[in-house]
Amino acid sequence: MVLTVQALVVNVTLTVNGHIITGNSSGSTTAAVNANAGTGATCTVSGNDTAGTITIVTGTGSGTAGAVSTTYTMEYIVAQ
C-alpha cells in the first residue's frame, strides 16, 4: 500500500506502531563552520533532513553562538 500526503497537521497524539522510514536518504544535508566557531574548527554531518548528528569541534577563540550553518535538502516551512 502506498499513501501519498502533501501536507498533514496533527493536533493530537500520533502513535506509530512501527518504524518511520523517510524518503530523504540522499545524505545531502550539509553543515559548515562559521567564523564564530574559531580558528581550526570543524564539523561533520551524518544523516539527512529528518534525523542525524552534526558534530562540531570548536577552534581557538570560538564565540558563544552561531558556530555552524546548516543547509537542508528541502526547506523547512515555518509553523503558522
Residue pLDDT, tens place only, 40-70: 999 998 887 778 899 999 999 998 888 999 8
Q: Which of 67, 71, 70 is nearest to 41 (CA)?
A: 67
Per residue in 12-21, pLDDT (tens digit) is: 999 989 987 7
Taking the whole predicted model, whether its pTM rises above 0.75 is answered as: no
Residue-wise pLDDT for 19-43, tens only, equals: 877 776 555 788 999 999 999 999 9
**d(Cα 67, Cα 37) in Å, to the nearest integer?**
4
